[in-house]
Amino acid sequence: MNPDDPLLKILACPLDKGPLVLLLPEEPGPDAGTDAGADTGTGGTDQALYNPRLRRRYPILDGIPQLLPSSGEQVTEDEHERLLKRAAS
């Protein structure tokens, strides 16, 4: 999925029906080790859709958004801040 995908305009969070933010794969930094992103529970480099209002992340697997309420993962305060920065870049 890419930021220009028209599907993004119609996708909504299954819980609050609000818009979602596309999180593109992270690029490892120069000092990133093999455990980069290990705290995310999803490998840290995968695409996802994020609802910053509810602080829930929904994975995109093989290009297909997983938007069932049970597919969403609640994120911590630190992870929320990191995801907001990631979405802004």
Contact partners, residue 38, CB within 8 Å, separation at least 6: 44
User: Which CA distances in Å does 85 have to 7, 14, 16, 29, 79?
Assistant: 23, 23, 22, 15, 10
* Tens digits of residue pLDDT in 18-54: 999 999 887 665 555 444 444 444 444 589 999 999 9
pLDDT computed for residue 28 by the predictor:
61
The two structure tokens encoding residue 48: 């996802």
C-beta of residue 21 within 8 angstroms of C-beta of residue 52: yes
C-beta of residue 49 within 8 angstroms of C-beta of residue 65: yes
Instruction: Supply the pTM of this predicted model.
Output: 0.76
Q: How confident is the model at residue 59 (pLDDT cuts 50, 70, 90)?
A: very high
The two structure tokens encoding residue 21: 């933010």
